[in-house]
């Protein structure tokens, strides 16, 4: 069984956002799969996806603080600067964290660990709505 659907995420502030529930609610077809994989693919180059701690919101705040220090704005050597100081750092963060996730499905559910949640990583100040392409494959 193959299945594909585009999800349009509403615009979010720069930072790290838990979107597990939004994914699950938009893809009820997960419930039909005993063994399979779901691929989440973000069709942008300045936002990304990762898995991490789903409980304490300070983890997501610390992620934003850390990545802003690890990938600073306004470095003198940056050449791609026309779209603002947050643009090139957003591209770099996107490649450090990655554009897609592949998550196993078991018995009709995402087989995430107890503490794992899906993060949308919004790296732009005004990134707007983001498009995910979700591909499901299983039996």
Report d(CA 13, CA 76) in Å as an integer.
26
Rounded Cα distance between 60 and 54, Å, is 9
Residue (12 or 41) nearer to its own copies, CB:
41
| Length of the chain measured in residues | 139
d(CA 115, CA 107): 19
Task: Using CB under 8 A, pick the residue from 51, 73, 85, 108 that binds its own copies.
Answer: 51
Q: Is 104 in the site for its own copies (CB under 8 A)?
A: yes
Task: Specify the residue, 12 or 52, whose C-beta has the smaller distance to its own copies.
Answer: 52
Query: Rounded to the nearest whole angstrom, what is the least distance from the CB of residue 3 to its own copies in the complex?
Result: 7
| Shortest Å distance, C-beta 42 to its own copies | 8
Q: Please, what is the minimum distance in Å from the beta carbon of residue 67 to its own copies? A: 8
DSSP for 11-48, please give it.
P--SEEEE-HHHHHHH-GGGGG-SEEEEEEEE--SSEE
- Residue number, 22 or 112, with CB nearest to its own copies: 112
CB-based burial label for 95 (10 Å; 0-12, 13-18, 19+):
exposed
Residue 9 beta carbon to its own copies: minimum distance, rounded to whole angstroms: 13
Question: Does residue number 45 form part of the binding site for its own copies (CB under 8 A)?
Answer: yes
CB-wise, 102 or 125, nearer to its own copies?
102
Name which of residues 13 to 32 contact its own copies (CB under 8 A).
none
């Amino acid at each position: 069984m193959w299945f594909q659907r585009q999800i349009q995420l509403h615009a979010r502030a720069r930072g790290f956002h838990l979107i597990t529930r939004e994914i699950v609610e938009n893809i009820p077809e997960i419930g039909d799969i005993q063994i399979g994989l779901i691929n989440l693919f973000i069709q942008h180059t300045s936002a990304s996806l990762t898995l991490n701690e789903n409980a304490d919101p300070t983890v997501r705040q610390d992620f934003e603080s850390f990545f802003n220090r690890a990938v600073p704005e306004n470095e003198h050597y940056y050449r791609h600067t026309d779209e603002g100081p947050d643009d090139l750092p957003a591209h770099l963060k996107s490649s450090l964290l990655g554009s897609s996730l592949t998550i196993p499905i078991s018995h009709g559910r995402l087989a995430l660990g107890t503490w794992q949640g899906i993060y949308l990583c919004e790296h732009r100040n005004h990134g707007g709505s983001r498009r995910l392409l979700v591909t499901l494959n299983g039996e």
